[in-house]
Amino acid sequence: MLEFRYDTQLLIDGQDLDEDVIFDYITEHFKGDCLLAVGDEETIKIHFHTNEPWLILEYAASLGEIYDIVVEDMDRQSRGLKG
């Protein structure tokens, strides 16, 4: 069984985005691992393994428009099922 079940990926479009601030906020407020927050002041890509992807989506939506959202169930994938 995986510690963190959902691979959560998305893009955020906004203004004055700071990947370091976003990375630190997610690290401090959400449980998970394999966090990536990369981009520039207008677009940030998030990749995060968590058991509560809806919390990441809610936070990201508070920063700007979110799109290209992918939430994959890694537990199902590891059992050979569609994710």
Q: Which CATH architecture has domain 6-78?
A: 2-Layer Sandwich (3.30)
**Sequential DSSP letters for 10-78:** EEEE-SS--HHHHHHHHHHHS--EEEEEEE-SSEEEEEEEES-HHHHHHHHHTTSEEEEEEEEEHHHHH
Domain extents for the chain? Answer: 6-78
pLDDT of residue 69: 98
Rounded to two decimals, the pTM is 0.91
pLDDT of residue 12: 98
What is the amino acid identity at position 37? Answer: A
Q: Which two tokens stand for residue 55?
A: 């919390």
Q: Which two tokens stand for residue 1?
A: 């069984």
Q: Which two tokens stand for residue 17?
A: 């985005």
Low-confidence ranges of the chain (pLDDT < 50): none
